[in-house]
Amino acid sequence: MSRFYFKFPISILTLMETIELTSVQIEEAKFFLKRGELVAIPTETVYGLAAPTFSPSVSKIFALKNRPADNPLIVHIASFSMVKSLVSQLPKSFDPLTRAFWPGPLTLILPKNKGVSDLVTGGHPTVAIRMPAHPTALRLIEAMEEPLVAPSANLSGKPSPTTAEHVLEDFRGKLAAVLDGGPCTIGIESTVLSLVGEKPILLRPGAVTRRQIEDCLGVSLPENSHCGAPPSPGMKYRHYAPIAPIRLIDTLAPLANQTNPFLLSREPTTLSLYRPLNSKTLYAFLRESDRIQAKEIWILLDPVVLSDEALMNRIKRASE
C-alpha cells in the first residue's frame, strides 16, 4: 500500500492517512525523510520523530510536537564516522563510554561542530548524540547516510510512545509514516551524560545507570547542579504526564475507600484496574489511563521502585 502513495505529489501526502510501514520498509521511510517529511521510528528506548539533522525539516518537529524551541534534540547516529560532522572535540571519557554502552541507551552531551544548527541544539554550544541499539533504527540511519534527530514521537508533555500505535494516537494523519519496529524493549528515554565540563554530569537517569557509568570511568558522578537553560531534553518542561492527576503512595491503605482506582504497583493486587509497574510499562499504562478517562492515578512507591533512579525520575516528572 505504501508504494501506491508514492505516485502522488509530495504536497498531497499531508492530506492522506499516515502510512504504517513494517520494519523492512527502510527504503519507503528513507523516501519520505529525503523529501522533508517526518517519520516516526522505533528505538530501544521510545519511538522517535525523525528528520535528517542537517535538513530544514527539523523545524517541522517543533511545530508538530508543539515543542519549545529551546528544548534541544538528540541526534542519532549509526557509525562513529558520523560523530565528526556533529562534534568539535572529544574528551578522553568518550572512548570508554562508547565502547561500553554504544549502541545503547546512553546520550552524550559534547561540544558541537559549527555546522550543527542552533535549532537542533536549542541554542546551546553543545550537541546531544547517541547510537541506538534498535536494528531498524540503525538500518534506516545507515540507509540515509546521515544522522537523524529523533525526539520522542508524542505531543510535548504527554507520556512517551513505546509502540507504533501510541504514535498514531497523537499523530495519525499528521505525519507521513510510522516505521513499526515492535514494542520498545526498554520503555523510557536514554540516560543523558554531559562530558562538557571538568567532570561528567548525569543530566537524566535511564537504563544505563549511575553506578554503571561510575564503574566504567572510575569516578563518582556529582549530582546534577546545572543552572540556566538546560542542555538536555527532559530537564525543563513538564513531561510524561497523563490527563488525570497522579497520587504517590507508600501503602495501599489510602485505597480502602476508593471505588476501583487506577493503580500502578510493582506488587499484584486484586483491584480490577491494577497494572504492573516497571520502566517498560509505565508510559503504556499512563496512556491507557487517558483512553479510559481515569479520574485519578495511584502509584505505589515500594522500596524497589524508590531505588530505581530512572523510574522515579519519570514518575516524579509525570506527577508534577
Is position 234 within any domain?
Answer: no
- What average pLDDT does range 149-159 have in this prediction? 95
- What average pLDDT does range 44-54 have in this prediction? 98
Q: How far apart are CA 279 and CA 188, in angstroms?
A: 6
Predicted confidence at residue 32, as pLDDT, reads 97
260 Rama class: left (phi>0) / alpha (psi -120 to 50) / beta: left
Is position 233 within any domain?
Answer: no
Do residues 56 and 163 share a domain? yes
The last residue of a domain, from among 176, 199, 217: 217
Do residues 47 and 149 share a domain? yes
Do residues 158 and 269 share a domain? no
Average pLDDT, the chain: 90
Is position 226 within any domain?
Answer: no
Predicted confidence at residue 7, as pLDDT, reads 36
Is position 240 within any domain?
Answer: no
The last residue of a domain, from among 202, 217, 232: 217
**Opening angle at CA 241, ends 235 and 242, nearest 5:** 175
Kindly report the pTM of this predicted structure.
Answer: 0.90
Q: Total structural domains in the chain?
A: 2
- SS3 of 160-204: CCCCHHHHHHHHCCCCCEEECCCCCCCCCCCEEEECCCCCCEEEE
Do residues 292 and 149 share a domain? no
**Which CATH number goes with the domain that contains 58?**
3.90.870.10
Q: Is 111 exposed, middle or buried (0-12, 13-18, 19+ CB in 10 A)?
A: middle
Domain span holding position 250: 246-319
Do residues 174 and 282 share a domain? no
Do residues 148 and 272 share a domain? no
Is position 236 within any domain?
Answer: no
Residue-wise pLDDT tens digits, 4-19: 333 333 343 444 589 9
Do residues 203 and 310 share a domain? no
Predicted confidence at residue 40, as pLDDT, reads 98
Do residues 138 and 21 share a domain? yes
Do residues 115 and 203 share a domain? yes
Q: Read off the DSSP letter of residue 224.
A: P
User: Phi and psi of 237, rounded to 5°?
Assistant: -95, 165
Do residues 66 and 202 share a domain? yes
Predicted confidence at residue 236, as pLDDT, reads 52
| Of 251, 246, 248, 316, nearest in space to 286 by CA | 246
**Quick check: 208 and 192 in contact, CB under 8 A?**
no
Do residues 46 and 96 share a domain? yes
- Quickly count helices (H) and strands (E) in the chain: 12, 14
Is position 107 within any domain?
Answer: yes
Do residues 134 and 255 share a domain? no
Residue-wise pLDDT tens digits, 216-252: 999 999 876 554 555 655 555 556 889 999 999 999 9
Of the chain, the percentage scoring pLDDT greater than 90 comes to: 82
